[in-house]
Structure 1
């Protein structure tokens, strides 16, 4: 039987989450959590694969995205609120636990679910963004910057300089993006470049250049990378971000103090004892973990961690779906075989 995704809504007194669902309702539950500036549809290849393997698969639009709730205050986009959204979604599915899979900003959410609600987790999988037990915030990321690539006197915040700009000129950053949504999506969603791995990422230049204008100029005339997303998918991203705006997605970056305080309240001092898989992208420059210190806090704080590498850029689930699905399926059947669906 081939399962096609259904569009559904979880509505509580505090939040509404739109999500795609596929697979048998009695299958082991996998919830896929997207990052910036994506949608649940970013996991389309994974939904198709794992639904047809017999899993029940869910891919929500996160807070501030798509058809999920939008909020007017920056503090409404703190990690604690988003984790609560996901726990409420899990409750609405009448499930005690899920396998949680995160990417980009979805990874800090999934790591936080594991740290604060281990009893609601079968296992954790995260792509690109490693666990930072003290909180995913600039103060905890900048000390891990690779200074052989980002000399401190030139790039004091390293590849995280774009985050500084969100804080310094939030309205300007949102205005730049919202005036060029098509170019932003067309330029961001591209395959990884192995030749760029050891050079400073463009995100490191944002503060020095006075904003994102130079970056948007670089993207403006780029053709769509249709090996990553189709024209129809590009239009879907553009329509969703035009409708919802960048206020919510960019506000995820404006909660450092709240996210650090939340991380300090995690169980077991933030140590994660769940089976966890971290998949890094070999050509992801911003979140480069191979040969850098960025992954060290994760390796020190996860008791049962498996690490894998896929030769892709940051948008791994869309660039290399077959490889990612294979890595995830093999890890599940080798590490938590009791969660693998029984044959019909």
Structure 2
């Protein structure tokens, strides 16, 4: 049975969230949380597939994106605020709990839901970004850099250099993306390249280059048809042009607040529910195959399943069949009673 994907809006006193829904309203709930600089649309290959398997599938536009509210202060994009958005969404759906699935910046959101609200979490899955109980912060990530690939004297911040660029040159970062949004979308959403594995990621050289694109507008490259259709590209471009990059980029401006929030997690940040982590074999920024980035997750998750997907960073869009298979297998193996419910 196929289900249509429908658009919805939740308005509360504190925030408006636009979201996509698919599947029976009384089915067990999966909530898919996108990252930077995406949309609910980035889960387009997952929503109908899991609705057909018997789930109610929800994908919100996150704070600062798409049809959801954006704000003018960096602190309005701290993780604690974003988690509150998701709790409001969950309550509006008439459900006590969900399986939370995140990618990129959506991963810290679902990890925080699991760590701070285990009573609202049946299970948690993440694409590309592993769990860090200290928070997805520079203080937590820099010590885990692969120093064989990123010698400290040349690459003090390793692949996380671009995050320091936001802190030091925020306006310049936003301006660089906004100079030609369509070109940015085409340049970012590309499939993984196995030949880049073992080489420094472009994100490690942003400050030296004076910006993402050498301080100017993004150059024009062909659209990668293996990741985006023309229609997908137009939708991303329109949404990011309308909202601008202040909101999306502000997610990177709350390391201190996010670290403080992580310290208040339940159970000392240990996760007891079933956890799935999907490694991107060709993801050179969130590189988890050779570095120590995934080690804290292995220590702090009691019931962890790991799967390697032969993809780059935009895994759900580049390799949807493999991602869907890994998620379905994990749900069947670890949460069979929830599926049947």
Give the alignment's TM-score, normalised by structure 2: 0.98
The aligned residue for residue 285 of structure 1 is 284
The aligned residue for residue 170 of structure 1 is 170
Could you tell me how far apart the structure 1 residues matched to 2:94 and 2:9 are?
14
CA contact (8 A) 2:46 2:320 kept: yes
SS of 1:208 mapped into structure 2: helix
SS of 1:287 mapped into structure 2: coil
Give yes or no for the alignment of 1:327 onto 2:326: yes
Could you tell me how far apart the structure 2 residues matched to 1:251 and 1:52 are?
36
- How big is each residue's C-alpha offset from its partner over 1:96-154, in whole Å with a ceiling of 9 and x where there is no partner? 01010000000000000000000001100000000111111111111100011111111
CA contact (8 A) 1:184 1:216 kept: no
The aligned residue for residue 159 of structure 2 is 159
The aligned residue for residue 29 of structure 1 is 29
Give yes or no for the alignment of 1:251 onto 2:239: no
- Structure 2: runs of 5 or more not aligned: none
Once the two structures are superposed, the pairs formed by residues 56-71 of structure 1 within 5 Å of their partners are 56-71=56-71
- How big is each residue's C-alpha offset from its partner over 1:194-213, in whole Å with a ceiling of 9 and x where there is no partner? 11010000000001112223
Could you tell me how far apart the structure 2 residues matched to 1:192 and 1:149 are?
19
Could you tell me how far apart the structure 2 residues matched to 1:256 and 1:33 are?
20
SS of 2:235 mapped into structure 1: helix
The worse-fitting range, judged by mean Cα deviation, of 110-119 and 208-217 is: 208-217
Could you tell me how far apart the structure 2 residues matched to 1:187 and 1:213 are?
10
CA contact (8 A) 1:273 1:303 kept: yes
CA contact (8 A) 2:172 2:215 kept: no
- How big is each residue's C-alpha offset from its partner over 1:23-53, in whole Å with a ceiling of 9 and x where there is no partner? 0011110000000000001000000100111
The aligned residue for residue 81 of structure 2 is 81
The worse-fitting range, judged by mean Cα deviation, of 205-214 and 2-11 is: 205-214
The aligned residue for residue 308 of structure 2 is 309
CA contact (8 A) 1:183 1:216 kept: no
CA-CA distance at 1:221 after TM superposition: 2.9
Could you tell me how far apart the structure 2 residues matched to 1:89 and 1:136 are?
23
Could you tell me how far apart the structure 1 residues matched to 2:227 and 2:212 are?
23
CA contact (8 A) 2:107 2:126 kept: yes
SS of 1:65 mapped into structure 2: coil
CA RMSD of aligned residues (A): 1.1
CA-CA distance at 1:215 after TM superposition: 8.1
Give the alignment's TM-score, normalised by structure 1: 0.97
The aligned residue for residue 205 of structure 2 is 205
SS of 2:268 mapped into structure 1: helix
Once the two structures are superposed, the pairs formed by residues 269-284 of structure 1 within 5 Å of their partners are 269-284=268-283
CA contact (8 A) 2:209 2:215 kept: no
Runs of 4 or more, structure 1, over 2 Å off, are 213-217
CA contact (8 A) 2:187 2:221 kept: yes
Could you tell me how far apart the structure 2 residues matched to 1:87 and 1:60 are?
12
- How big is each residue's C-alpha offset from its partner over 1:311-333, in whole Å with a ceiling of 9 and x where there is no partner? 00000000000111011101110
The aligned residue for residue 237 of structure 2 is 238
CA contact (8 A) 1:55 1:341 kept: no
Give yes or no for the alignment of 1:102 onto 2:79: no
For these two proteins, the number of residue pairs brought into alignment is 341
Could you tell me how far apart the structure 1 residues matched to 2:45 and 2:136 are?
27
CA-CA distance at 1:193 after TM superposition: 0.4
SS of 1:140 mapped into structure 2: helix
